[in-house]
Structure 1
């Protein structure tokens, strides 16, 4: 049986697949959305197709609910963003399948309305039903105050500060987590 996220008061969800590349591309074109991800550089169509989609498909598992969950508004059926679920350290040599990473990316027009928290709570509620999930964790750059607020609203607590390293250099980051069992 696959994970099925019920609609919330304002939102609907769908596990994304390779055919949703246009929505991923559209979301990543706003420099403000990408500020804490790529230092504001929009993602190209080639990057979405050749890097983003293959990475998403590598961890996508409908039964477990792993993947990118499209978030649309119930009233207008407008795509406003996505919520990610995948095992922590999935792309390392030792992924942690009992600790599920949650993340989110939303269009700027939806910011400040509680959509990220509402969507993340709905997905977390479904994760808690899985007996093999012991933790839910999230990370963000230390300056991403809005994402850290969502983490706290989900009941995640500060674990550690660390240095995030990518092709553009090093930046301070934080990890938050919540024990389920």
Structure 2
């Protein structure tokens, strides 16, 4: 099913053939620079299945992004319900991850903006948050471009103390 179309992108359900480029993306050290480590094939499979299953559980999740011009798998964006030990959880997170060859084209912003517009009209929540490592300036720029406002800094409970990625920024937007 296609959920959202933008001038250059299609946000759709996942296909099994998305797995190989998805796993390659998650194994790329540059793409995963602001995560604790690149994902193994097994970790990517688990994430792939989790993202697909969220649609069954919630009726929304992370959408596969396809480039209209050639049908290529670009990455994913969409929503995730998360709960971990922070004072703003549980909540809905908007997220994105793109294959490196698609960086710098405005695709993350285009896809995320369209997700927020879709959520406002079609999904059962009105507040969305996003977070990333303090050092991830690219994702912070996307958050700002899609209209999110800085909420606060926090220490991510899943990142070891003393790690460069421990401190995160939290952004929010009311739909």
Same fold (TM over 0.5): yes
Range into which the TM-score falls when normalised by the shorter chain: 0.7 to 0.9
> Residues 145 and 52 of structure 1: is their aligned pair in 2 closer, same or farther, counting only changes over 3 Å?
same
How many residues are aligned here? 171
Partner Cα separation in structure 1 for residue 100 and residue 15 of structure 2: 23
CA deviation string 1:60-100 (max 9, x = no partner)? 3487322x2111111111111111312242899x964xx42
TM-score (norm 2): 0.83
The 1:173–1:123 alpha-carbon spacing in structure 2 relative to 1, beyond 3 Å, is same
RMSD of aligned residue pairs (Cα, Å)? 2.7
TM-score after normalising by structure 1: 0.81
User: Which of 89, 94, 99 is residue 83 of structure 2 equivalent to?
Assistant: 89
Does the Cα contact within 8 Å between 2:54 and 2:60 map onto a contact in 1? no
Shift of 1:131: 6.2
CA distance in 2, matches of 1:10, 1:161: 34
Q: 2:35 aligns with which of 13, 37, 40?
A: 37
Secondary structure in structure 2 of the residue aligned to 1:36: coil
Alpha-carbon deviations, 1:3-42, whole Å to 9, x = none? x52311000111226664323212112110000013xx43
Q: Structure 1 pair 131/9, CA: closer, same or farther in 2 (3 Å)?
A: closer
Q: Which ranges in structure 1 are unaligned for 5 or more consecutive residues? A: none
